[in-house]
Amino acid sequence: MAQYAVLIYAGDSAHAPDASAEELETHTDHADDLAERGSMVAAYALTPRDMATSVRGDTITDGPFLDSKEVVAGFYVIEAPDLDAALAIARTNPVVHQGGGVEVRPVHSGGPVERR
């Protein structure tokens, strides 16, 4: 088994601070589904692009790091035996059919940090 990070790209994140449960339903269902199948290792939904702050050199700017149509709306880490299996999981993300997409990257190392 190997770990893959799945970066979710969308026009914006649906997870606004004041988003209702209904608005997030498809995303929550998808996350629950992956968790049930036992392939999910970790998952994070990010707040919308307006909440982002970027730092390059000494400059701090309002907004996402890259000025592009899509932003990283969230990411999760899954476990899969090979790339085909990872892609099969990643492509079930609803964003794939909503004009966005996902990027799948093998994880080199890392994980939750144990805090003392």
Partner 1 sequence: MTVEAAIVATHRREWARVLAATVRVTRDLDLAEECVQEAYAAALEIWARDGIPGNPAAWLSTAARRRAIDAIRRDRALRSRLPLLVISPEEPSDEDSRPDGRLDLIFMCCHPALGRAAQVALTLRLVCGVPVADIARAFLVSEPTMAARITRAKKKIATARIPYRMPGPAELPERLPGVLAVIYLLFTTGHTAPSGGSLVRADLVDRAMQLARMLRELMPGETEIGGLHALLLVSTARQETRVDEDGRLLRLKDQDRSRWDRAALAEAHDIIVAALPAGPPGRLLLQAAIASLYAEAPSYEETDWPQILTLYDRLLPVWPSPVVRLNRTVPLAMVAGPAAALAEVEELERDDRLAGYQYLPAIKADLLSRLGRAGEAAAAYRQAFTLASNEAERAFLAGQLADLTPVEGPSQRA
Rounded Cα distance between 80 and 100, Å, is: 23
Residue 1 structure tokens? 């088994």
One residue of 37, 82, 98, 103 binding partner 1 per CB under 8 A: 82
Helix (H) / strand (E) containing 74: strand 71-80
One residue of 84, 110, 115, 116 binding partner 1 per CB under 8 A: 84
Nearest to partner 1 of 28, 105 (CB atom): 105
Residue 87 as a binder of partner 1 (CB under 8 A): the answer is yes
For residue 88, CA distances in Å to 13, 30, 55 come to: 22, 14, 35
Nearest to partner 1 of 106, 111 (CB atom): 106
Binding site for partner 1 (CB under 8 A): 2, 81-84, 86-87, 104, 106
